[in-house]
Amino acid sequence: MSGLPRLDEIDRALIVATQGGLPLVARPYQAIGEQIGIAGDEVVCRLQAMLQSGIIRRIGAVPNHYAIGWTANGMTVWDVADERVDELGARVGALEFVTHCYRRPRALPDWPYNLFAMVHGASRVEVADKAAVIATLLGAECRANEILLSTRILKKSGLRI
């Protein structure tokens, strides 16, 4: 796994100290620094470096999507030919309303789907309408599909190392 940025003990301590959230105080980076034994300036530099290397995707608010009105969340799953999935996946992922789009392995015979696209809406109908746009895009390339609506968040703590 060459090319992965190396994470030293201090970076790791910084992730552990912030993974539950930043302190809600005027100088949060200084507060974290005091906790792990480095200066606030160094906290800022290290967070900046981890943002640049992609270890940190972003820093900010993580909403509960249900609470901000996105009450219907649908995992749409599609069975398309393996030799076509990359081209089709790129096109589905480019739709403005798709938040995540991945190729994943099938689990035959129960699960024939290899293309996953998450769509969100304020209602089941909105999710179904968005899935219909994907279905139109895939056309005859889609051999089977389903929408798995979520009905409850059972846990959403985010990553914990």
Partner 1 sequence: MPELDVPQGHSLRSAVDRQIIDKLQGDFPLCERPYAEAAERLGITENELLARLQRLLDDKVLTRFGPMVQIERMGGAFVLAALAVPEGRYGEVTGLVNALPQVAHNYRREHALNMWFVLATETPQGIAEAIAKIERDTGLPVYAFPKEREYFVEMKLAARA
First-to-final CA distance of the chain: 20
What minimum distance in Å lies between the beta carbon of 37 and partner 1? 19
- Cα-based distances in Å from 16 to 11, 12, 89: 9, 6, 34
Q: Specify whether the CB–CB gap between 135 and 76 falls below 8 A.
A: no
With CB under 8 A as the contact rule, the residue among 102, 123, 129, 143 that binds partner 1 is 102
Interaction of residue 89 with partner 1, rule CB under 8 A: yes
Supply the minimum distance, in Å, between the C-beta of residue 14 and partner 1. Answer: 9
Residue 8 vs 136, nearer CB to partner 1: 8
Give the residue with the Cβ less far from partner 1, 132 or 149. 149
Contact set for partner 1, span 104-123 (CB under 8 A): 104-105, 107, 110-111, 116, 120, 122
Location of structure tokens 């949060």: 28
Does residue 140 touch partner 1 according to CB under 8 A? Answer: no
Of the two residues 7 and 13, which places its CB atom closer to partner 1 in the complex? 7
Closer by beta carbon to partner 1, 58 or else 140: 58
- Separation of alpha carbons 35 and 24, rounded Å: 14
Counted residue by residue, the chain has a size of 161
Q: How far is CA 72 from CA 97, 120, 146, 148, in A?
A: 13, 6, 15, 10
Question: Which range, of 85-93, 128-136, 137-145, touches partner 1 by CB under 8 A?
Answer: 85-93
Which listed residue (34, 39, 81, 94) binds partner 1 by CB under 8 A?
94
Span 9-68, contacts to partner 1 by CB under 8 A: 15, 18-22, 24-30, 40, 44, 47-48, 50-51, 53-68
The region, left, alpha or beta by phi > 0 then psi within -120 to 50, assigned to residue 3 is left
